[in-house]
Structure 1
Amino acid sequence: MTLRHIEVCIDNIESLHLAQQGGATRIELCSSLALGGLTPNPGLMKLAARHATVPVYAMIRPRQGDFLFSEQDKEIMLADVYAAREAGLQGIVVGGLLPDSRIDAELLGALCREAQGMGVTFHRAIDQCLEPFAALDTIMSHNCERVLTSGLKANAYEGIPVLAEMVRYCGDRLAIMAGAGLHAGNVVEIVQQTGVQEVHLSGKSTRASLMQQYSQEAYMGSAEVDDFTIPVTDPDKIRAVVQALQTLDNHTPYSHTPHNQRRS
């Protein structure tokens, strides 16, 4: 049986339940998915740890924008790793770059040490690196479990050639997890052509507010954002990816570490 994970990124507790219903085998826990995913608050971390039946990895990203972090940004990131560990989560998702687009190895080392045995995923900061294979060497030297990447393209489908090369380059030393623009219609081709064993998606959807009466004169942010449309994971989109992948492995494609087991 082929080991394969379907990781779903979420930014609210409602979506945790929906992602698990759909068949997620791991959760990337964020806030602000519309910004590419930022660090979730400690309350969400604790509640996710309580209700998850699969491993949960917390995004550690203190702000939107690039991955060149200030010293104070780094202090925040270390404190957030501590919060994720204290909440009982299984891992963290991290990344940071130097001004010339190389991996910030000093920051990565500090974050891994603070994680104290939690699993570590390096995120799509690698897709902004000018020398991605040197970046992979740095990531592997810090014993990260995996890297999330679109193969340096806007989406994983366009990145198939580089993803395949990354899989060959890393072998068993580092899992390559394909993400960005992945869905039931392209996941089989991406997996078949690249050899990735892990995939990442959000299954984005929305639901209407359950408010019965409210004033429509004020806005909580931009007037272009509907405050009464709630972003949530669509379990049917996740389930469709699960079903698509079942065609590859005789209907038994998945295996995951028990949610209370941490990497030693």
Structure 2
Amino acid sequence: MEQTTTVPTNRPLLEIACFNAESAVIAARAGADRIELCRDYASGGLSPEPETVRRLKGQISIPIYVMIRPHAESFYYSDTDFETMKRAMFTLKKQGADGFVFGLLTEATQHASGEVAPWIDIARNKELVQLAAGRPCTFHRAFDLIPESQWDTALADLAECGFTSILTSGGPSGKTAMECVDQLHNLIQERRKQLKGRVDDGRLPQILVGGGVRAANIEALWERTCAAAFHSAALDRWSVERVSDGEVNALKAVLDKTRE
């Protein structure tokens, strides 16, 4: 059955990355619109335990998108890895996951521009989207390894795969959204250009801005990009993986001002 996400009216969506159940509950109570659930912050997020998803579905009502990522070595996955990802998706779907977050790339090849970089593994990504059975899928920060010169093609390919959103900092993995704010602006403008004249505009993935997003910089990010969605870990400064309710509140307060 197809799942839908309730998007806030007239303000950007706020997704909070949570690495444990406690943080997900904190984020939901503090006003997050959606949770990205994973584990192991140090690795950048891996697939969560099914039991964590099951318990959270009984505690919070906002959508929970779960990470499908078996390791943090790269975004290229072996046949064994891919089977692991499919099994994880099947199991987490049974536990009530509302959406999925993943991204598979090919090994680095030379593009027409002369750049040597990985590309989107269209066949495998499309297979996982189909396994999601109508639940929305986000292509995560694997996108940041795609050359900027190829973003127009990448948007079209990810739309073909069926992704509903792309999580990106606008630059190479490890860079923050603020460092790449101009690239994010260009990417969102490219998406808008591709939307013109399309009757199936719902199929073009939404840009989800992430990478060091905090209450202190989200206003500047929004003013430059006018992005429709933002992603933050909103971590407590005294804890490695615990979400700060104050930070979530502050992020939401800034985004609420964008509809005034």
Contact 2:105–2:119 (CA under 8 A) maintained in structure 1 = yes
One-letter code aligned to 1:152: G
Query: Which of 220, 235, 243 is 2:253 aligned to?
Result: 243
Question: Structure 1 CA distance, aligned partners of 2:183 and 2:156?
Answer: 15
1:184 aligns with 2:215: yes
Query: Which of 138, 143, 168 is 1:126 aligned to?
Result: 143
Question: Structure 2 CA distance, aligned partners of 1:161 and 1:137?
Answer: 21
| Alignment partner, residue 59 of structure 1 | 67
Contact 2:38–2:48 (CA under 8 A) maintained in structure 1 = yes
Displacement of 1:65 after TM fit?
2.0
Contact 1:206–1:233 (CA under 8 A) maintained in structure 2 = no
Unaligned runs of at least 5 residues, structure 1: 208-228, 251-264
Contact 1:151–1:162 (CA under 8 A) maintained in structure 2 = yes
Report the 3-state secondary structure (helix = DSSP H, G, I; strand = E; otherwise coil) of the residue aligned with 2:241: strand
Question: Structure 2 CA distance, aligned partners of 1:134 and 1:156?
Answer: 22
Deviations 1:140-192 (CA, angstroms, capped at 9, x unpaired)? 11221100000015011111112112212223522101001111111011112
1:101-112 paired onto structure 2 within 5 Å: 101-112=118-129
Displacement of 1:135 after TM fit?
1.9
Displacement of 1:206 after TM fit?
6.4
Query: Which of 93, 106, 114 is 1:98 aligned to?
Result: 106
Displacement of 1:230 after TM fit?
6.5
Query: Which of 10, 13, 21 is 1:5 aligned to?
Result: 13
Displacement of 1:3 after TM fit?
4.3
Contact 1:95–1:108 (CA under 8 A) maintained in structure 2 = yes
Displacement of 1:52 after TM fit?
2.0
| Alignment partner, residue 167 of structure 2 | 148
| Alignment partner, residue 111 of structure 2 | none
Contact 1:8–1:200 (CA under 8 A) maintained in structure 2 = yes
Query: Which of 45, 55, 59 is 2:53 aligned to?
Result: 45
One-letter code aligned to 1:244: V
Q: Calculate percent identity across the aligned residue pairs.
A: 28
1:178–1:64: structure 2 CA closer, same or farther, 3 Å change rule?
same
Question: Structure 1 CA distance, aligned partners of 2:177 and 2:107?
Answer: 25
Report the 3-state secondary structure (helix = DSSP H, G, I; strand = E; otherwise coil) of the residue aligned with 2:77: coil
Displacement of 1:133 after TM fit?
3.0
Unaligned runs of at least 5 residues, structure 2: 1-8, 109-117, 193-200
Question: Structure 1 CA distance, aligned partners of 2:182 and 2:61?
Answer: 34
Question: Structure 1 CA distance, aligned partners of 2:158 and 2:66?
Answer: 18
Question: Structure 1 CA distance, aligned partners of 2:81 and 2:11?
Answer: 36
| Alignment partner, residue 157 of structure 1 | 178
Contact 2:11–2:259 (CA under 8 A) maintained in structure 1 = no
Report the 3-state secondary structure (helix = DSSP H, G, I; strand = E; otherwise coil) of the residue aligned with 1:204: coil
Report the 3-state secondary structure (helix = DSSP H, G, I; strand = E; otherwise coil) of the residue aligned with 1:8: strand
1:71 aligns with 2:79: yes
Alignment root-mean-square deviation, CA: 1.5
Report the 3-state secondary structure (helix = DSSP H, G, I; strand = E; otherwise coil) of the residue aligned with 1:14: helix
TM-score, normalising length: structure 2: 0.84
One-letter code aligned to 2:136: G
1:166 aligns with 2:187: yes
Question: Structure 1 CA distance, aligned partners of 2:74 and 2:128?
Answer: 18
Question: Structure 1 CA distance, aligned partners of 2:252 and 2:41?
Answer: 22
| Alignment partner, residue 97 of structure 2 | 89
TM-score, normalising length: structure 1: 0.83
Question: Structure 1 CA distance, aligned partners of 2:93 and 2:54?
Answer: 10
Which is worse superposed, 151-160 or 54-63? 151-160
Question: Structure 2 CA distance, aligned partners of 1:111 and 1:148?
Answer: 17
Contact 1:124–1:148 (CA under 8 A) maintained in structure 2 = yes
Query: Which of 220, 226, 248 is 1:195 aligned to?
Result: 226
One-letter code aligned to 1:8: I
